[in-house]
A and B are shown apart, each in its own frame.
Chain A
């Protein structure tokens, strides 16, 4: 029994990691929404980890229209494309993404304070 108990987690964890690494956007791939402080009261919201199938520019267009803010899609050498928005839009973005059915709520991680 004890061997079985040990075997299950050891086999489970590498598989999960392997799946995530292979597909790039696996089942447990989180969408990270972060905030970053700028000078003064200004801040920046970044959305990272959206699936590659989506058209980032179209999502960005809707986001900009919805929240009345500017933003860009930034190409990052490691993390791929990242959406940047002006201002603290974390709540708005997560609400928008869940409502549009792009991401499930469980897969969204909001970082920052």
Chain B
């Protein structure tokens, strides 16, 4: 036994002895082993990735990807066969990433523990309402009037180019609007061949805009529901405004003869 032990020791010693001096070798060996391990590891991973590309393991794609990414870096050239599967997986991953990003953008409180502020919740409610049924969202600015296009004809006349368009968008008779405009501006004017309004005097577009705003407030907008879907009708010399949305009606002041027949004009005439 002792001999054996000695032998064992001897045997062990020489074994250890070569080990110690051959640290380099050991290192080399280790390196080799590592490479071997890598290759061994990679083989099953290859198989896994192949199986993934077959579509069997899609539910676990999230787990697989990280491993695969490491593999990819070294094996991109070799794994050309996998390319299809890889690309698919990447697409999935990207999609998930985008969704997460959107959700984070949509709700500023995502990922934090803080309370919601009132404005954020209000915005959320309105966003949902707008997505699902925009009818109920109640956008005030739904009716946007185009700005009046005003040209100068010579030096003393002004041409209101899109007069007809604006009348149509307000659903009003052109002559009614024209009477109001002329009465307010205190001038005379007429429609020309292209249905444009030619007004005597110099006016800026902003002036027309102000007057049209007043016209809409007085003769177009329903007082009850603020909707511009109204009809102006004349019943025995009185003008009535009837709302199409809520059905309410009201009488509006007529554009009087006294209005239209200009005081100043008459005075300058005398």
Interface string of B226-258 (1 = CB under 8 A from A): 000000000000100000000000010000001
With contacts A13-B251, A113-B203 taken as known, whether A84 is within 8 angstroms of B264 at the C-beta atoms is: yes
Contacts of B258 in A (CB 8 A): 78-79
Sample (6) of A-B pairs whose CB atoms are under 8 Å apart: A9-B251, A35-B186, A37-B187, A46-B264, A76-B267, A113-B206
Contacts of A9 in B (CB 8 A): 251
Task: Tell me the interface secondary structure of chain A in the complex.
Answer: strand
Cα A44 to Cα B126 in complex, Å, equals: 50
Task: Tell me the interface secondary structure of chain B in the complex.
Answer: helix
Knowing that A34-B263, A78-B261, A79-B258 touch, tell me 17 more A-B residue pairs with CB under 8 angstroms. Answer: A13-B251, A34-B264, A36-B187, A36-B262, A37-B186, A37-B201, A37-B202, A44-B264, A76-B266, A82-B267, A84-B267, A111-B184, A113-B184, A113-B185, A113-B203, A113-B207, A113-B210
Q: Give the top 3 A-B pairs by smallest Cβ distance, nearest first.
A: A113-B207, A36-B264, A36-B186
With contacts A112-B185, A113-B184 taken as known, whether A36 is within 8 angstroms of B207 at the C-beta atoms is: no
Instruction: Establish whether residues B186 and A112, one from each chain, have CB atoms under 8 Å apart when the complex forms.
Output: yes
Interface size in chain A (residues, C-beta < 8 A): 18
With contacts A78-B258, A111-B184, A113-B211 taken as known, whether A13 is within 8 angstroms of B238 at the C-beta atoms is: yes
A34 is contacted by which of B186, B208, B238, B251 (Cβ under 8 Å)?
B186
Cα A12 to Cα B266 in complex, Å, equals: 34
Interface string of A1-23 (1 = CB under 8 A from B): 00000000100010000000000
Chain B residues touching A, range: 20 to 34
Name which residue of chain A comes closest to B204, CB basis: A113
Cα A84 to Cα B263 in complex, Å, equals: 10
B69 within 8 A of A: no
- A56-91 interface with B by 8 A CB criterion: 74, 76, 78-79, 82, 84
Please report A residues at the B interface, Cβ cutoff 8 Å. Answer: 9, 13, 34-37, 44, 46, 48, 74, 76, 78-79, 82, 84, 111-113
Name which residue of chain A comes closest to B206, CB basis: A113
Contacts of A74 in B (CB 8 A): 263, 267, 270
Minimum CB–CB distance from B140 to chain A (whole Å) comes to: 25
Please report B residues at the A interface, Cβ cutoff 8 Å. Answer: 183-187, 201-204, 206-208, 210-211, 238, 251, 258, 261-268, 270
Contacts of A113 in B (CB 8 A): 184-185, 203-204, 206-208, 210-211
With contacts A37-B202, A78-B258 taken as known, whether A111 is within 8 angstroms of B267 at the C-beta atoms is: no
A46 is contacted by which of B183, B207, B238, B263 (Cβ under 8 Å)?
B263
Name which residue of chain A comes closest to B186, CB basis: A36
Most A CB atoms within 10 A — which of B186, B206, B266?
B186
Name which residue of chain B comes closest to A41, CB basis: B202
Name which residue of chain A comes closest to B261, CB basis: A78
B263 is contacted by which of A13, A37, A79, A112 (Cβ under 8 Å)?
A79
Cα A35 to Cα B210 in complex, Å, equals: 14
Contacts of B261 in A (CB 8 A): 78
Most A CB atoms within 10 A — which of B201, B206, B263?
B263
Name which residue of chain B comes closest to A47, CB basis: B263
